Amino acid sequence: MPSDMKERIAREFAELARTKSIDKITVKDIVEACHITRQTFYYHFQDLIDVIDWSLRRGMEELVEKRLKMQYREEVME
């Protein structure tokens, strides 16, 4: 379940970033959007930079996995 919660927190952060500048997003904003406690947030992440870092790494891993499954170089390049 922890990775599910991490995904949920990261998804809410991304959603908030659509309407609010990243530097204006607070932990309070995220915990309210996720309906979790601050303790839960800090159990999964050290701070907001950690959320961004985890999200970027996760996205890159998914992208690489997807590309490795492709058969043709042309598909990968697209």
Condensed to tens digits (0 to 9), the pLDDT of residues 9-52 reads 999 999 999 999 999 999 999 999 999 999 999 999 999 999 99
Check: pTM over 0.85? Answer yes or no: no
**pLDDT-based confidence at residue 1 (cuts at 50, 70, 90):** very low
**Intra-chain end-to-end CA distance of the chain, in Å:** 34
Residue 76 pLDDT > 70, yes or no?
A: no
CB-based contacts of 33, cutoff 8 Å, min separation 6: 12, 15, 16
Top-confidence residue, 39 or 63: 39
Q: What per-residue confidence (pLDDT) applies to 66?
A: 80
- 24 three-state secondary structure: helix
